[in-house]
A and B are shown apart, each in its own frame.
Chain A
Amino acid sequence: MSWLRIKRKLPLIVVNIVVIIAMILWIVPTLGLLITSFRPASEVAYSGWWTVFSSPLRFTQFTIENYQNVLRTGGMATAFRNSFIITVGGTLIPVFLAALAAFGLSRLNFSGQGFFYALIVMMLVVPTQMTFVPVLKLYNRLSLSGTFVGLWLVHTGYGLPFAIFMLHSFFQSLPNDLFEAAHIDGASIWTTFVRLALPLSIPALASLVIFQFLFVWNDLLVALIYLGGHESVAPLTMRLSSLVGSHGQDWHVLTAAAFVSMIVPLIVFFSLQKYFVRGLLGGAVKG
Chain B
Amino acid sequence: MKRKTGFLAPVFYVGPAVLFLLVFQVYPALQTIRLSFMDRRSVNFVGLDNYKYVFTSQVMLRAFKNNLLWLVFFTAGTVGLGLLFAILVDRVKYESVAKSIIFMPMAISFVGAGVVWKFMYSYKPSGAEQIGLLNQILVVLGFEPKGWLLQSPLNNFALIAVGLWIWTGYCMVILSAAYKGIPRELLEAGQVDGANELELFWHVIIPEMKPALSVVITTMLVNVLKIFDIIYVMTNGNFGTEVIANRMFKEMFQFANTGRASAIAVVLFLIIIPIMYFNIRQKLKGEA
Residues of chain A touching chain B, judged by Cβ–Cβ distance below 8 Å, are 1-7, 9-10, 12, 15-16, 18-19, 22-23, 25-30, 32-33, 36, 44-50, 97-98, 100-101, 103-105, 107-110, 112-113, 116, 119-121, 123-138, 153-154, 156-158, 160-161, 164-165, 169, 172, 176, 179-180, 183, 189, 193, 214, 217-221, 224-225, 236-237, 240-241, 244, 251, 254-255, 257-258, 261-262, 265-266, 268-270, 273, 276-277, 280-281, 283-285, 287
Contact = CB atoms under 8 A, between A and B. Distances in A.
B167 to A, nearest CB: 9
Nearest to A23: B101
Main secondary structure of the interface of A (DSSP, over half): helix
Contacts of B97: 23
B74 interface: no
A269 B34 CA distance: 42
Interface stretch (B9-17, B59-67, B152-160): B9-17
A193 B9 CA distance: 12
A173 B112 CA distance: 38
A257 B112 CA distance: 9
B83 interface: no
Contacts of B100: 270, 273
Given A133-B32, A133-B258, A255-B115, A3 B98 contact: no
Contact of A98 (B5, B17, B115): B17
Given A97-B16, A133-B262, A221 B228 contact: yes
Contacts of A172: 287
B141 interface: no
B76 interface: no
Contacts of A44: 131
Contacts of A255: 115, 119
A214 B25 CA distance: 22
B233 A244 contact: yes
A160 B92 contact: no
B88 A130 contact: no
A9 B201 CA distance: 13
A262 B10 CA distance: 41
Contacts of A130: 28-29, 32, 265-266, 268-269
A169 B287 contact: yes
Interface residues of B, number: 114
B75 interface: no
Given A28-B133, A47-B131, A97-B17, A133 B109 contact: no
27 contacts: A22-B85, A25-B165, A33-B116, A45-B131, A97-B16, A100-B16, A101-B16, A101-B18, A110-B4, A113-B10, A123-B25, A124-B280, A130-B265, A131-B29, A132-B28, A132-B248, A133-B31, A156-B20, A157-B20, A169-B287, A225-B249, A237-B111, A254-B118, A266-B104, A266-B108, A276-B107, A285-B223
A3 B187 contact: yes
Contacts of A45: 131
B3 A107 contact: yes
Contacts of B245: 129, 221
Contacts of A112: 10
A137 B248 CA distance: 16
A227 B112 CA distance: 19
B144 interface: no
B66 to A, nearest CB: 17
A221 B187 contact: no
B91 A120 contact: no
A23 to B, nearest CB: 5
A50 B205 contact: no
Given A26-B101, A33-B116, A101-B16, A153 B24 contact: yes
A30 B113 CA distance: 8
Contact of A241 (B5, B111, B264, B269): B111
Interface string B233-270: 10000000000010011001000001001101110110
B229 interface: yes
A214 B219 contact: no
Given A3-B197, A164-B17, A221-B229, A180 B1 contact: yes
A104 B269 contact: no
A165 B21 CA distance: 13
A36 B119 contact: yes
Contacts of A105: 13-14
Nearest to A135: B28
Nearest to B96: A273
Contacts of A161: 21, 25
B213 interface: no
